Amino acid sequence: MLSVGALQLSCFFAFSNLGMQSLPAGRASMLAYTTTLRIVLLGETVTAPLAIGTALVVSGLAIAILDQSRD
């Protein structure tokens, strides 16, 4: 279990850094932090904390996208 967590964390940072080299930092971080949304879309059992977290993620993404469209 420790090796899976370490692999997940190292891949997250490696791909985040790679994404930030080829995308603007804001867009790369939006892609990185949609993990909760992707888990829900893939059929994970939705609990109340997961639903609240997903709603916060979607709200934050909407705010960030709308803010970027004004620039």
One DSSP character per residue, 8-71 reads HHHHHHHHHHHHHHHS-HHHHHHHHTTHHHHHHHTTPPPPHHHHHHHHHHHHHHHHHHHHHHH-
The answer to whether the CB of 50 falls within 8 A of the CB of 38 is no
Write out pLDDT tens, residues 14-71: 887 787 788 777 777 777 777 777 777 888 888 899 889 888 888 888 887 787 666 5
Q: In this predicted structure, what is the pLDDT of residue 69? A: 65
Pairwise CA distance, residues 33 & 29, whole Å: 6
- Per the structure, the count of domains in the chain is 1
> pTM score, two decimals?
0.52
Please report where in the chains the tokens 């960030």 appear, as a residue: 64
